[in-house]
Amino acid sequence: MVFRSSNSRLVAGFVSMGFMLIVAGCQSSDGGGSGGGFLGVGKKDEAAINADVAKAKASDLRAYCPKVTLREGTAVFNTYGRAATKPKAPKGQEPAPATDTAQDDSARLSYQASIGEVTRDCTRDNGMLNMKIAVAGRIVPGPTAVPGTVTMPIRIAVVEGDKVLYSQIYQHKVQVSDTSTATQFVLNDSSISIPQPAAATYQAFAGFDEGPKKVQKSDEDQPVKRRVRRPKPKAAPVANAPAAPAQQGNQTTISDIPR
């Protein structure tokens, strides 16, 4: 009887221990630990997997979303007004000497626009890379500023090496009502759709661009206009007047001369 009692207690102890291990294994597989599964072996936590997938997608997206840069000399745009009329010098006095061109330009400055920030956003769909580029800045009034509309030529372009994938010039208009303070402006371009690249080889640019300047032809290039003189029409010939008839009477004729 004693032997049976002790054996039954031993079996009951192993059964109890096995149940505890099973419960512990279940708790480990469902918990938030990185080991997971029974005795630390099992599937990775679902939240951790989702986090890794999100990181992979974000890094992949950044690789196909080129940064926007400003080309040198395209961050500032000036508009000018008419300079004030200089008073004429009195008779007998020499006129005032001409001032420097730069000083004249600064005196005629109406507004100075500058780009302070550029941002972009990318999405991919059916092998195409769709971009949204935003350009933000401010307009500072100058000495000849008057309330009105300021038009700024802003170009947005995406290139791959020497190949232009997208290029657009916007005549962005901003209404300025207060000439005593700066006015903010924002331009959004959401119409960029270009083929998705196999590597990060795209470059995006933004900045002020007035387009190609018109080349003014010199006097040597101008065609010489020659005046063609047309001959005047000749006058119609005047008919000769008929000879006057011979007069009779005292007129001497050859037959009257004695031989």
Q: Give the pLDDT confidence score for residue 198 in this predicted structure.
A: 86
| Residue 144: pLDDT over 90 | yes
Q: Is 79 exposed, middle or buried (0-12, 13-18, 19+ CB in 10 A)?
A: middle
| Residue 63: pLDDT over 80 | no
Q: What is the CA radius of gyration of the chain?
A: 49
- Mean pLDDT score, 20-47: 49
Q: Give the pLDDT confidence score for residue 136 in this predicted structure.
A: 97
pLDDT in tens, 77-89: 999 986 555 556 6
Mean pLDDT, rounded, of the chain: 74
Q: Give the pLDDT confidence score for residue 46 in this predicted structure.
A: 74
| Residue 34: pLDDT over 60 | no
Q: How far is CA 72 from CA 12, 86, 205, 209, 253, in A?
A: 84, 36, 11, 11, 113
SS3 215: coil
| Residue 96: pLDDT over 80 | no
SS3 168: strand
- Mean pLDDT score, 91-96: 62
Percent pLDDT > 90 in the chain is 42
Least confident of 121-125, 168-172, 175-179, 219-223: 219-223
pTM beyond 0.75, yes or no? no
Q: Give the pLDDT confidence score for residue 241 in this predicted structure.
A: 55
Q: Give the pLDDT confidence score for residue 214 in this predicted structure.
A: 62
Q: Give the pLDDT confidence score for residue 105 in this predicted structure.
A: 78
Q: Which amino acid is it at 187? A: L
Question: What is 109-163 written as a DSSP string?
Answer: EEEEEEEEEEEEEEEEETTEEEEEEEEEEEEEE-TT--SEEEEEEEEEEEEETTE
The pair phi, psi for residue 248, each rounded to 5°, is -95, 160
pLDDT in tens, 181-214: 999 999 999 999 999 988 889 999 999 998 776 6
